[in-house]
């Protein structure tokens, strides 16, 4: 697998609800990075790019990847609350956050719960709000591999990360993650009907990023976030599917660095 193995550490953070697997790298102001529900097969070049400007924390969501599953957890809001607790455990009074896909939903929920926890918010292809046009692609009718392939604009980039023949280990990780995703977001699938009513209270500067060829999350989700958040702007990346962090790492990292570094 093509991941970067340079300057990062890997650890398990013990929080009362369970062990959280976390990768961490770089120096500078703290930047939390919440992955999509697919997880990631390691320290991605995108993380490395961001680590040039920030201390990047990449926790696996509880129940995803190598993080312990809290069996009581029933909703994405529960998950968001657990991340607030994780931040407290890490001694992060505030941080900027980048949420990819499902991770964007988690970040948005956290922001509605604690208006000043984030300095800057970046939502990339975020689910969490019901699309006003189109539907969020239902991964439950697809295999993990079929779904992940649809997350890419360029099949070569899928293969570069996961190889043309995916491994049983990788497919098992997808199964673990999909199982946790549906424990949290089965119905309604991947959105919270209350969230749009609460986003108006979040005045944190927010960058909403959509991609031109996102087959998973309709563009209307990005537009909705940008409309509902009082201090948000929308950027659209070209030649890119749902996995912008893998397909356009340099462009996305530059966009984020510029936005987060503004004071």
Name the residue nearer to other proteins (CB basis): 16 or 165.
Answer: 165
Residue 171 binds other proteins (CB under 8 A): yes
Residue 154 binds other proteins (CB under 8 A): no
Residue 181 binds other proteins (CB under 8 A): yes
Where are the extended beta strands (E) located within 181-229?
206-211
Interface pick for other proteins out of 176, 198, 234, 254 (rule CB under 8 A):
176
Give the SS3 label for residue 253.
Answer: helix
Interface pick for other proteins out of 141, 164, 262, 263 (rule CB under 8 A):
141
Residue 87: closest CA among 41, 126, 31 = 31
CA angle 145, 21, 17 (to 5 degrees): 110
Tokens of 136: 């969020």
Interface pick for other proteins out of 4, 29, 55, 143 (rule CB under 8 A):
143
Name the residue nearer to other proteins (CB basis): 5 or 141.
Answer: 141
Phi, psi of 56 (to 5 degrees): -100, 125
Residue 168 binds other proteins (CB under 8 A): yes
Interface pick for other proteins out of 11, 133, 172, 239 (rule CB under 8 A):
172
Residue 62: closest CA among 42, 88, 34, 31 = 34
**Separation of alpha carbons 5 and 11, rounded Å:** 15
Give me the least distance between CB of 162 and other proteins, in Å please.
13
Q: Does 188 sit behind a cis peptide bond, omega within 30 degrees of 0 on the bond before it?
A: yes
Residue 135 binds other proteins (CB under 8 A): no
Q: Which residues bind other proteins (CB under 8 A)?
A: 140-143, 145, 168-169, 171-172, 174-176, 178-179, 181-183, 186-187
């Amino acid at each position: 697998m093509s991941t970067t193995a340079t300057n990062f550490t890997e650890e398990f953070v013990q929080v009362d609800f369970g062990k959280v697997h976390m990768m961490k790298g770089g120096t500078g102001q703290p930047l939390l990075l919440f992955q999509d529900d697919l997880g990631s097969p390691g320290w991605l070049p995108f993380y490395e790019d961001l680590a040039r400007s920030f201390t990047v924390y990449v926790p696996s969501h509880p129940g995803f990847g190598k993080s312990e599953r809290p069996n009581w957890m029933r909703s994405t809001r529960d998950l968001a609350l657990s991340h607030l607790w994780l931040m407290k455990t890490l001694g992060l009074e505030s941080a900027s956050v980048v949420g990819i896909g499902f991770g964007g939903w988690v970040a948005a929920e956290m922001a509605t719960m604690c208006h000043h926890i984030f300095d800057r918010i970046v939502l990339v292809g975020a689910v969490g709000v019901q699309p006003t046009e189109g539907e969020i692609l239902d991964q439950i009718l697809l295999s993990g591999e079929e779904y992940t392939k649809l997350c890419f604009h360029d099949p070569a980039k899928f293969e570069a990360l996961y190889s043309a023949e995916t491994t049983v280990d990788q497919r098992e990780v997808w199964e673990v993650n999909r199982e946790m995703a549906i424990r949290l977001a089965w119905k309604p699938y991947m959105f919270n009907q209350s969230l749009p009513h609460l986003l108006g209270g979040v005045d944190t500067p927010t960058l909403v990023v959509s991609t031109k060829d996102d087959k998973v999350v309709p563009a209307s989700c990005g537009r909705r976030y940008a409309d509902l958040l009082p201090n948000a702007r929308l950027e659209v990346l070209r030649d890119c599917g749902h996995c912008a962090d893998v397909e356009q790492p340099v462009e996305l990292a530059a966009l984020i660095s510029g936005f987060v570094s503004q004071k």
